[in-house]
Chains A and B, each alone.
Chain A
Amino acid sequence: MKKLLTIPILLLLAGCDINVLDAKSETGQDQAFLIWFSFGLMMIVLVVVFVLFARFVWKYRETDQNKHTLPKDVKGNKKLEITWTTLAILLLVVLAVPTVAITYDQSPVLSSSEEAEQAVHVNVTGQQFFWTFEYENGKETTNKLVIPANKTIVFHLISKDVIHSFWIPQLGGKTDVLPGKELLYKLKNPKEGTYEGKCAEFCGVQHTKMQFTTRVVSNEEYENWLKE
């Protein structure tokens, strides 16, 4: 039992190095917040169950003294049962509020908004087994994505064959890349740096190797790079 309890602590300590939790964009940070928040709430549940479990199993285990005793039958306890049902619902309400808020904020949106007009747009095409990125001035790159820091970037995702999934773990979550239907993904304020991106939806023989690098550069550098 003790061994199990140390695991979450180890996880907490290791947290700072974990890619997804150490997010380098506003989008990713919001998601990391949700992950930590839900993890914290769930730890409460876990600890309560573990403590009760350990206590009951230890206290009521069969020993030489109680071997022949016949425990009293308990049919149930309305008050207790209502208590833990209500508590569970309350806990989920607490979790549901930020979930709904952030999900609305981040879900792939299909209509363009005012914000989208000021954003940087990149067309992303997934294909077995590489990525093509097309920028606003028509420039194209393969497996190398370059985006400006501290801006909103909108990716227009489409696939030429099967379903892929566009994912840069350190910058934010993934969105599927579907054939015949364009999906949008919005990334807010990435920080400068180089990050790995990959296909997250199984897409065939070379799925494993369908990776790309993302370079987040300063705005001037981005403008210069576009003109190269």
Chain B
Amino acid sequence: MTIPFFKDTMFVPSDVVAAWVLTIILGIFMAIYVWRKQKIPLLWSYLRTTNHRKIGTMYVLFGVLFFLRAGIDALLIRLQLASPHAEFWVFQQDKYNELFTTHGTMMIFFVAMPLLIGLMNIAVPLQIGARDLAFPFLNAVSFWLFLAGAILFNMSFFLNSAPNAGWTGYAPLSTDTFTPSVGNDYYVFSLQVSGLGTIFTAINMIVTIIRHRAPGMKLTRMPLFPWSALITSFLILIAFPVLSMGLYLLMFDRLFGTGFFSGEVGSPVFWQHLFWIFGHPEVYILALPAFGIFSDIISAFSKKRIFGYPAMVLSLALIGFLGFMVWAHHMFTVGLGPMANTFFAITTMLIAVPTGIKIFNWLFTMRGGVIRITTPMLFSLGFIPTFVMGGVTGVMLSVAAADFQYHDTHFVVAHFHYTIIGSTILGIFAGLYYWYPKITGKVLDETLGKWHFWLFLIGFHMTFLPMHITGLQGMPRRVYTYGYGDSLFALNLTSTIGAFIMGSSMLIVGWNVYKTHKYGEKVGNDPWDGRTLEWTVKSPSEEHTFEPMPVVKEMDPFWYAKVEGRKLETTTDVRPGPIPVESIKPILIAVSMSLMSIGMIYSWYWLAILGGLGTLGLFVIRSVTDERKKDYAEGGGVQ
């Protein structure tokens, strides 16, 4: 579509126009709703909050929002691929490249990560008996940095310059020689800004879990979700700085003409090493928290303690450790030589051992139990076969010489969707249904939840199972069309139909949330007959939880107290915990970092300098002020 712009005409693709129109209409409706229902004070309080549950809720809300956007990207991809030589809307060539780039980047960084971090924010402190995260202010900074990065990333689309080099951003394609438009600068800066927030969260989680557990909760009595959060945080702490470095070098290549990834001394393979040293652990950063969620849920709904707890913890740690030794299995075809290829083939296979241990331990947790098939449990049950299918194709991919055939085909696409959706996304759904009462005080409707599960799972398998075969038929990934031969049509059409079934299941979630809030009733502390400490606090959890503090003497303390018909022992003599504060500075820090990024992207250096000074200034101001002062004066809440 061409739009007259003063004397020039501007070309804007119709999908971008459609997005603008839709956004403006939805924006107006939102504004009217907020005004009518007088929600402005509520919004204002959320903008300044540092409470872990509220921040977690915001993570979840925005994660779901971006899930819808990236999901629509996926549906558009599937529409373009529905039939051979299709020409759906504008999504051929460069538009299609933007489509899969934004789909991948958003799903990993702005959907899976924030949803998991959101769940950690909500559940981890409650599960370990902490009153908040160790650094509430930093937690708010993390959230707003994530959101700033995500908004930056989405902005690129609205300005018709979305990144287009794939979510892996392989050099030299991602350098300014081959993709001169600002799209990939957006990629660099949005990941950089949100990545910073993720690193802060990791530090926050580690300190919280190490320092703020309830009295008596030894690490050996801690539920598995906090355990997985702890190990994940260590992975983030090692992996994300590597991504930051890679992005930093790429920024220099793009903006200032250096040659780290091209030219005489640079090499495009350097980028791949940096990216995958981050990128492979990232896969486990996504999977481990989901494993934690499943462990808690399977144990709770089988009425049994987790089978082989020490082995479960050990294999979490082993998977995390091995995750750093396998990155080059993404690079079997770049000519690292047989020595490197076989080394990485074998380390990759080894990951199957701790993963297998976990699978069998989950199975044996259910054995001999009483399995209540609730929605969270259904998602956990759906996870086991799905994830195992993804896991075995993972082992197949690790066979280096066979990978020469699989590499960069739809077989790989099928594999990683089986593992990431199978673990992370099903885990997030399970966790959201499970902890929903702790967020809102209500339990989501079970019937609709089950509909959601079945539609999602059936749609999922329909979408991705055929891709194993299209991959082996010779269909590379990231192509926008294919020929009539090779019998690719039927399989691709099946995938497309499956994708729409999967997408439609999300409409049921929307309906469920609406229905639950309209008609659902408030529930008590313990709607699921749970085992761990989060079920001892009110639903939704308050800002001052655990007063007085429970004393933990065993694993699953709440469960055994219930079984033996006694009350949890409590104490008021505990070490000082973080206290809630309200501050507008976190969001200001994020805003000034966004301004700095926009300045850098468009080479408006005055704006970059202004944004940078703003960020620095806010840090200085923060260092010399103490938001907790009024709490000291009142003397309340400090213990």
How far is it, in angstroms, between the C-alpha of A43 and the C-alpha of B335 when the chains are bound? 30
| Chain A residues with CB under 8 A of B568 | none
| Chain B residues with CB under 8 A of A173 | 333, 401-405, 407
Name the contact of B401 in the complex, choosing from A7, A45, A99, A204 (C-beta under 8 A). Answer: A99
Per-residue CB proximity of B400-415 to A under 8 Å, as 1/0?
1111110111000000
In B356-408, the 8 Å CB interface with A consists of 356-357, 359-361, 363-364, 366-373, 381, 384-385, 388-389, 392-393, 395-396, 398-405, 407-408
| Docked-complex contact A71 and B178, CB < 8 angstroms | no
Q: B350 within 8 Å of A by Cβ?
A: yes
How far is it, in angstroms, between the C-alpha of A165 and the C-alpha of B173 when the chains are bound? 13
How far is it, in angstroms, between the C-alpha of A19 and the C-alpha of B93 when the chains are bound? 26
How far is it, in angstroms, between the C-alpha of A53 and the C-alpha of B381 when the chains are bound? 9
Q: A203 within 8 Å of B by Cβ?
A: yes
Interface size, chain A (Cβ < 8 Å) = 92
Q: A140 within 8 Å of B by Cβ?
A: no
| Docked-complex contact A62 and B479, CB < 8 angstroms | no
- Known A-B contacts A34-B401, A66-B370, A67-B370; the reply to A39 vs B396 at CB < 8 A is yes
- Known A-B contacts A69-B370, A100-B345; the reply to A60 vs B93 at CB < 8 A is no
Q: A226 within 8 Å of B by Cβ?
A: no
How far is it, in angstroms, between the C-alpha of A189 and the C-alpha of B624 when the chains are bound? 74
Which of A115-123, A147-155, A194-202 faces chain B?
A194-202
Question: How many A-B pairs with Cβ below 8 Å?
Answer: 270
Q: A178 within 8 Å of B by Cβ?
A: yes
- Known A-B contacts A81-B357, A178-B268; the reply to A103 vs B465 at CB < 8 A is no
How far is it, in angstroms, between the C-alpha of A57 and the C-alpha of B396 when the chains are bound? 28
| Docked-complex contact A53 and B469, CB < 8 angstroms | no
Q: A9 within 8 Å of B by Cβ?
A: no
* Closest A residue to B177 using CB positions: A161
| Chain B residues with CB under 8 A of A201 | 170, 408
| Docked-complex contact A107 and B384, CB < 8 angstroms | no
How far is it, in angstroms, between the C-alpha of A165 and the C-alpha of B304 when the chains are bound? 51
| Docked-complex contact A30 and B401, CB < 8 angstroms | yes
Name the contact of A163 in the complex, choosing from B172, B337, B396 (C-beta under 8 A). Answer: B172
How far is it, in angstroms, between the C-alpha of A187 and the C-alpha of B231 when the chains are bound? 44
How far is it, in angstroms, between the C-alpha of A106 and the C-alpha of B461 when the chains are bound? 34
Q: A125 within 8 Å of B by Cβ?
A: no
Q: A216 within 8 Å of B by Cβ?
A: no
| Docked-complex contact A49 and B384, CB < 8 angstroms | yes
Q: What is the distance, in angstroms, from A199's C-beta to the closest C-beta of chain B? A: 7
Interface residues on B, range: 35 or more
| Chain A residues with CB under 8 A of B311 | 76, 81
How far is it, in angstroms, between the C-alpha of A196 and the C-alpha of B392 when the chains are bound? 29
| Docked-complex contact B346 and A96, CB < 8 angstroms | yes
| A interface with B by C-beta (< 8 Å) | 1, 4, 7, 11, 14, 17-21, 28, 30-32, 34-35, 38-39, 42-43, 45-46, 49-50, 52-53, 56-57, 60-62, 66-67, 69-77, 80-81, 84-85, 88-89, 92, 95-96, 99-100, 102-110, 128, 161-163, 165, 167, 169-170, 172-176, 178-181, 183, 196, 198-208
Would you give 22 A-B contacts (Cβ < 8 Å), ordered by A?
A32-B405, A35-B399, A38-B402, A42-B396, A49-B388, A76-B311, A88-B352, A88-B353, A92-B350, A92-B395, A100-B342, A103-B345, A110-B337, A162-B172, A170-B474, A175-B404, A178-B334, A199-B476, A202-B170, A204-B178, A207-B478, A208-B480
| B interface with A by C-beta (< 8 Å) | 93-94, 97, 165-166, 170, 172-173, 178-179, 262, 264, 267-269, 302-305, 307-311, 333-335, 337-338, 341-342, 345-346, 349-350, 352-353, 356-357, 359-361, 363-364, 366-373, 381, 384-385, 388-389, 392-393, 395-396, 398-405, 407-409, 461, 465, 468-469, 472-474, 476-481, 486-487, 563
Which 6 pairs, one residue from A and one from B, show the smallest C-beta to C-beta distance? Answer: A173-B404, A169-B474, A107-B338, A42-B392, A76-B308, A34-B402
Beyond the given A7-B465, A76-B311, A88-B357, please list 6 additional residue pairs across the A-B interface where CB-CB is below 8 A: A61-B371, A92-B352, A107-B337, A165-B408, A181-B269, A202-B166
